Amino acid sequence: MTVDFDALRRRFPVLERKTYLNSGSYCALADTVRDAFNAYMDDRLAVGANWDVWITKNEAVRTAMAGVLRVTPDEIAVTASASAGINALASSLDFKGSRKKVVVSDFEFPTNAQIWHAQERRGAQVVHVPRAADGYIPLENFARLIDEQTQLVAVTQVCFRNGARLDIAGITRLAHERGARVMVDCYQALGAMTVDARALGVDFAVGGMLKYLLGTAGIGFLYVRSELIRELVPHNSGWFAQQDIAAMDITANRPSQSARRFEAGTPPVINCYAAEAGLKIILDIGTEAIETRVRALTRRCLDGLAGMGWPAVTPADDARRGPMVAVPSRDAAGLFGRLQEQDIVTSFRDNNIRATIHFYNSNQDIDRFVAAMAAHRGQFGPRS
């Protein structure tokens, strides 16, 4: 099926005014997501506490999220954030035995590393996999640190600093050979790339809805492989984590037999409206078509930057990059501001300007960004 990306682009009003290359921070707002927010307000004004619809929306998000990850709804917990999902998982693990080690990488978003370092008071031993000389983290660097004392490898799929994509399937095979489990943070990948949790073999996955999944802040997910759910009982809990939510039982903790046991209290209701609408767009287009388009746009961007003498730090190899192109600058904050003045919306981390690209971007967006970077190279280019 041919996808009309020009027609899809018209569904994001901000693109009429801005060259929007900031989906890795917060996605552009789609018409149906805006309408979903309004539908929530209409329901509140017309009905008040529309509890049955709220529950339906939460379950719709669970089902849609399972579809995007290619798993079953019972393996998905709807959380308030990626952090909430990681914390719930961490609370279910025991670090008193021989497997005390948690392996993270030097590509992690702070949340992932910080939460595992917080478990050190419970006996966890956190080790970091370093970068190689070329700035990437190859599989052999993981092989040196994952061993029989490792309980969990908690690793990002695409680095938020430089757009590098790790070999998650390879890391997972290595970890499983040594008896460890794997949690992947796919926040900077899911929605712009196909992330098939079954094919990757991961045990857990976390992310949120405000970036490439086209939803909003304040809602995320945790995937738990079905075979592991019943053996893991989180210490973090709440009434929506119970087997029978309606029981209102105050005599015991009776966790759900599904991944809902990793949830907590009342779901993020208004965020569910928006997240459902965003996920529907992703499912309607299909992640394979999205990934193909994003790969072509990132390639155009990389080639354009290299051609004018300001190469990105993002790997050129398709297998080693996600939807981000990161460009080094001697003054990333200053360059970000200058681009903003030209209605080119980017972001920056460390010393890199980040152009984070989605299916609604166009060749013209990429060319405008590259031309602006060429004009600013003398003042803002990388240090020699």
CB atoms inside a 10 Å sphere around CB 98: 8
Identify the pLDDT of residue 286. 97
Question: Hey, where are the domains in the chain?
Answer: 5-21+286-379, 34-283
Would you list the DSSP string of 242-262? BS-GGG---S---B-SSGGGG
CATH class of 34-283: alpha beta
Q: Would you call 50 helix, strand, or coil by DSSP?
A: coil
- DSSP 8-class letter at 349: E
Identify the pLDDT of residue 339. 98
pLDDT tens, 174-212?
999 999 999 999 999 999 999 999 999 999 999 999 999
pLDDT tens, 7-28?
999 999 999 999 999 999 999 9
Residues 6+ apart with CB under 8 A from 57: 269, 272, 273, 276
Question: Does residue 51 carry a pLDDT above 90?
Answer: no
Where b means 16+ CB within 10 Å and e means fewer, 295-334 reads: bebbebbbebbeeeebebbbbeeeebbbbbbbbbbebbee
* This prediction's pTM: 0.96
pLDDT tens, 53-97?
888 999 999 999 999 999 999 999 999 999 999 999 999 999 999
Q: Which residue has the higher pLDDT, 384 or 344?
A: 344
Identify the pLDDT of residue 331. 97
What residues pair up with 183 in beta bridges, in sequence order? Answer: 154, 204
CATH code reported for the domain at 5-21+286-379: 3.90.1150.10
- DSSP 8-class letter at 214: -
pLDDT tens, 237-248?
999 999 999 999
Beta strands 347-349; 352-356: pairing state:
antiparallel
Residues 6+ apart with CB under 8 A from 188: 24, 109, 156, 157, 158, 159, 160, 163, 211, 212, 322, 323, 324, 356
Question: Does residue 384 carry a pLDDT above 80?
Answer: no
Residue recorded with tokens 């909430």: 84
1 band by pLDDT with thresholds 50, 70 and 90? confident
